Structure 1
Amino acid sequence: MTSVGSSIGSSLGIGSGIDTGALVSNLVSAVRDPKQKVITDRQSLNSARISALGSASSSLDTFADALNSLLAGTGYSGTPLSNDPSIASVSLLPGGEITGLPAQLRVQQLASAQTLASTPVSGATASSTVGLGTLTLKVGTGADVPIEITSANNSYTGLAKAINDANAGVTATVITDNQGTRLVIKGATGEANNFTLTNATGDADLAKFAWDGTDSGTMKKLATAQDSIIQLDGVEQRYSSNTIDTAIPNMRIDLNKAAPGTDVSLTKSEPTTSMRDLMVEFVNAYNTLMKGLNTASAAGADSSTSGVLAGDPAVRDMKRQLSQMTSAGMATTGAYKTLSEIGVSTNRDGTLKLDTALLDKAIAANPTAITQMLNPAVSKATNPGLAGLMDGVRDRIQVKDGSLASAQAKYAKLGESLTEQLEKLDTQMANYQTQLTAVYSKMESRLTAMKATQSYLEQQIAAWNSSSDS
């Protein structure tokens, strides 16, 4: 679409011969371009700073998360082993170190659940009636639970649902096969979870589903509720489940079959990765992070040679927090308490240096103390371990009102301000173009009038000259 200024300039140019549209455009550009460049240059720098801070924070997260994941693996903690998983399998529980191994386990008896079943009724279906009235369900030493059957739920399905809806710890199902239809009721494993289903006010049909501890012609016990029985290093222990989490600290034992007279050896594999490997990986990853921060905050002779975050207080604080890790206390007891004591020092540029000879000497002298300091079984404030120490640094750097959050908020606000400045400049230049167009339109009108007058005078003078010659 042709602009107003161009249209006016084109039409008026017929009279004056001056391209006022181009003149106005050039004048506006001469005013706009320097101001616009200042704003867009600041926008580019601000965007680069926002991106660099986001990248630094993301790199910090990646480093800390990777360290946590690394130390959580069995490579640094070892893994529990069973020499016969078909009898008992073992696994590591989170939050602590396995103690008490090796141990000898003997599975005398598996835990089981009580199961009752009614006599199959040939020709019956799940919707067949079962009788009316109330049965009483009692699990262990718990309270009596009424199971009511009315005309609304008088069926095998209704009876099973009433038992399940009682939430007493037993599960009822209806089975229909070639023998007919029957009700099966199963409790939870463990001797304490035995149950009875006695007749309270049921009619003769419903009473057939009652069981008070003695089998009848219509209701029988198919399995008995019993505890698992194990011997651990000769000491008998009983549990209501076949999954045992408390016999050995921080280790789960899954009992798979009873094997009286057979001992299962429970042991723990040694860590496949050493604390020396850990420190080498840590220093390398730390230095990658620090070099990135150094590049982003490098000072230069001018903006073209300095980093986008040169002089930024958030980066200075991040580097300061990281640099304190070598001297931070990681334990209150033991032979070693800081990274600097096992060969980690700081270079002038903030990167770390690992004295492997000093580290090897420390590991040889007291490997347990090194492990306890770097990767404790349970991390706590006074003994955070390497992952906990890194998490603490990250939390302080990324705290809600910290320097990083403040810098990010500052740059975000500046970005909004620069956008508003650019929009304001667009409005100002549009107004300026309108003003110039008006001025040059008036000028063009005057020039056209003057040109017409000039033409008239030239014609008159020519006529006068012609008259005098004759």
Structure 2
Amino acid sequence: MAVDSITKTLGSGSGIDLKALVTSLVDAQYAAKTKQFTTKSDTLTAQISGVAKLKSAITGFDSALKSLVKSGSLATQPTSSNAAVLGASLIAGATAPTAATTLTVDRIAQAQAATSRIVVPGETFRGGTLDVTTGSDTKVTKSITVPQGATLADVAALIKKETGFSTALVADGDGTRLTVKSATGASQAFEIAATDTDGTAAGTGLSVFATGDAGLKIGTVAQDAQVTVDGARYTRASNSINNLVPGVKLDLTGTGTTTIAATRPTAALSQAVSDFVATYNELQAVLKEATNATTGVLRSDAAATGIARALSTLTTTKLTGAGTVQTLADIGVATNRDGTLSVDTARLTRTLAGDPAAVEALFADGTGASGGGLSAAMSSIATRLTDKTFGLDAATTRYTRQQSDLATAKAKLADATAATTERMTRQFASMDSRVAAYKSTQTFLTNQIAAWNKSDS
């Protein structure tokens, strides 16, 4: 470029380092604006980072609390006094019964299973029809067409496809057996009749798949589970039952008598309160650092400062709709002067002993900002504080836009700096050339005068 060429010879006439002089003058002219941009850039970077850190703390707190509540570990759980008879669990969204229930499992539900003779490798079967009849009181028959030359695997696949039964090929000695198994319950009992050209269990006829001593031998018989509750007998097709004891899912494992009772998670609730307070205080520490009146990068951010106000109401927000225990303050959680929380352990212990159900209700999996439990209240706050209109997401958008505007301003400043450098370089180059001309004239005159003086002498 022309300016580069000028710069290389700049100062040759005057003897002054005009290149350094131009750089110093340009730097001095734009120093204040450059410093302002650098400071603004550092501030915006810190603000975006601060918003991200604060948002992560809030959403992390909300997610952890939500997961804890939804896990069911803070809700009263049903228990079985005899795990060898059945297991008991709370149905999602249900409330465990407070009264104990004694029940007897007279028999468990069974699937029907039948197994074929050993089929040697490479053996195929003649075509024909398998008629599968299912049911106990009401019977339904389905016909399955088996093609000529079908293998054992082919027959297994056809039975599974047409009936929904499970089939398995089990290696046994020099060959393989076919096992057919239905779902549990008396209505899943089945019989298979075969129609083929062979008509016997020997050879390659389909009668090998007919139920009976000569074909598929029944190992277990389909039956319903039978359970006696309060003297009344009930039958169910499955060993997984959710409509005998209100709110409780029963998984039958054997016969015998057991009692279903409720166990309150007193220790878990106490720990949950302590963990909530500790996590809340960690969030407060992040918030306090970000909004510190002197050093906080978000001290002037409305969304960040609004978080403190929103969180300060959490201990007095009604988390349940009724009763004497409706807020965190009612169980001994208090707000300290610095905004952190503390737990009155003695009061919490007394409340858990006197009204554990009320404390449990505070951690219920509800909805809404008030009356839906602590998790719902925290979620409501988190949603408000991180929204895209007035919350932290809006702040991130604003700061990012300001960064973009700053980048544009920096680009304009760079252009202005380059233009000023070019202008000054040309001006000083012109001056330098004139000085060089003056010096040349001076040298000529000096030499001329010296010559005159020499000739006179």
* TM-score, length of structure 2 as denominator length: 0.85
Matching residue of 1:208: 207
User: What pairs with 1:267-306 in structure 2 (closer than 5 Å)?
Assistant: 267-273=261-267, 278-299=272-293, 305-306=294-295
Q: Distance in 1 between matches of 2:140 and 2:439?
A: 115
Deviations 1:35-64 (A, max 9, x none): 221111111111111111111111112222
| Greater mean alpha carbon deviation, residues 454-463 or residues 279-288 | 279-288
User: What pairs with 1:434-453 in structure 2 (closer than 5 Å)?
Assistant: 434-453=422-441
8 A Cα contact 2:193 2:207, kept in partner: no
- How much has 1:142 moved relative to structure 2? 7.7
| Greater mean alpha carbon deviation, residues 321-330 or residues 109-118 | 321-330
2:150 pairs with one of 148, 154, 173: 154
1:184 pairs with one of 161, 179, 192: 179
Cα gap change, 1:400 to 1:251, in 2 (>3 Å)? farther
Matching residue of 2:236: 239
- How much has 1:173 moved relative to structure 2? 2.6
- How many percent of aligned residue pairs carry the same amino acid? 32
Matching residue of 1:302: none
Q: Distance in 1 between matches of 2:271 and 2:171?
A: 62
1:255 pairs with one of 244, 252, 257: 252
Cα gap change, 1:245 to 1:453, in 2 (>3 Å)? same
2:125 pairs with one of 104, 124, 130: 130
Amino acid at match of 2:366: S
2:19 pairs with one of 10, 18, 21: 21
Amino acid at match of 1:218: G
Cα gap change, 1:128 to 1:337, in 2 (>3 Å)? same
**SS of residue matched to 1:89:** strand
Q: Distance in 1 between matches of 2:315 and 2:181?
A: 60
- How much has 1:359 moved relative to structure 2? 5.5
Q: Distance in 2 between matches of 1:4 and 1:433?
A: 13
Cα gap change, 1:163 to 1:400, in 2 (>3 Å)? farther
8 A Cα contact 1:326 1:346, kept in partner: yes
Deviations 1:62-100 (A, max 9, x none): 222333344456764355443432333334444333215
Matching residue of 2:443: 455
Q: Distance in 2 between matches of 1:55 and 1:321?
A: 18
Structure 1 unaligned residues grouped into runs of 5+: 300-304
8 A Cα contact 1:135 1:202, kept in partner: no
Amino acid at match of 1:183: L
2:366 pairs with one of 345, 365, 379: 379
Cα gap change, 1:411 to 1:173, in 2 (>3 Å)? same
8 A Cα contact 1:6 1:20, kept in partner: no
**Corresponding position: 1:194 with 2:189:** yes
Matching residue of 2:357: 368
**Corresponding position: 1:84 with 2:82:** yes
User: What pairs with 1:91-170 in structure 2 (closer than 5 Å)?
Assistant: 91-99=89-97, 102-121=100-119, 124-125=120-121, 127-140=122-135, 144-151=141-148, 154-166=150-162, 168-170=163-165
Paired residues, number: 450
Q: Distance in 2 between matches of 1:392 and 1:459?
A: 94
Amino acid at match of 2:212: D
Deviations 1:209-234 (A, max 9, x none): 453xx625233322211112223344
| Greater mean alpha carbon deviation, residues 413-422 or residues 353-362 | 353-362
**SS of residue matched to 1:120:** coil
**SS of residue matched to 1:98:** coil
Instruction: Report the RMSD for the aligned CA atoms in angstroms.
Output: 3.2
Cα gap change, 1:345 to 1:171, in 2 (>3 Å)? closer
**SS of residue matched to 2:11:** helix
* TM-score, length of structure 1 as denominator length: 0.83
Cα gap change, 1:246 to 1:179, in 2 (>3 Å)? farther
Deviations 1:398-422 (A, max 9, x none): 2343422211110111112222222
Amino acid at match of 2:23: S
Deviations 1:358-412 (A, max 9, x none): 666655664433433x123x52446412222212221222234342221111011
Structure 2 unaligned residues grouped into runs of 5+: none
8 A Cα contact 2:195 2:207, kept in partner: no
Cα gap change, 1:357 to 1:273, in 2 (>3 Å)? closer
Cα gap change, 1:355 to 1:267, in 2 (>3 Å)? closer
Q: Distance in 1 between matches of 2:329 and 2:98?
A: 33
**SS of residue matched to 1:325:** coil
Matching residue of 1:393: 381
Q: Distance in 1 between matches of 2:388 and 2:50?
A: 19
Deviations 1:339-370 (A, max 9, x none): 44555555565444656676666556644334
Q: Distance in 2 between matches of 1:371 and 1:119?
A: 59
Q: Distance in 1 between matches of 2:105 and 2:389?
A: 57
Amino acid at match of 1:149: V
Cα gap change, 1:398 to 1:207, in 2 (>3 Å)? same
Q: Distance in 1 between matches of 2:170 and 2:282?
A: 65
Cα gap change, 1:108 to 1:366, in 2 (>3 Å)? closer
Q: Distance in 2 between matches of 1:133 and 1:442?
A: 110
Matching residue of 2:307: 318
Q: Distance in 2 between matches of 1:288 and 1:162?
A: 62
Matching residue of 1:464: 452
